[in-house]
Amino acid sequence: MQQEFLEASSLMLTGMVFVFAFLSLLILFINTVLAQLAIRFPDPVISRRSPSNKKTNNKKATNGEISPAIIAVISGAVSKYRAQHGNSLSPSQNYLPQNKH
């Protein structure tokens, strides 16, 4: 019985080593092929174009900041929505839990 367990464990260990070696070689081969393909077929560089609309170019903010014109439009839309729907609460008061009795 002990001989069978010894043979089974050695067979299992041999199989695990073979699978690990095979997968390692497969990963190495795939990375090598991908590196060669990246040299032959590089990814194209995509340049970002700015909008051609003259209005947006004049009011565009720099350094990723939000344009003051956009802030004014959003504020006006929120005010108009609140006026139409009778919501006079401030934004912080909208999220407070209300007790219903």
* pTM of the predicted structure, to 2 decimals: 0.41
Taking residues 82-88, what's their average pLDDT?
82
Whether the pLDDT of residue 66 is over 60: the answer is: yes
Hey, what's the torsion of the CAs at 63, 66, 67, 71, to 10 degrees? -170
Whether the pLDDT of residue 100 is over 80: the answer is: no
Taking residues 67-91, what's their average pLDDT?
85
Cα-atom radius of gyration of the chain, to the nearest Å? 33
Tell me, what's the pLDDT at 47?
75
Confidence of residue 60 (pLDDT cuts 50, 70, 90): low
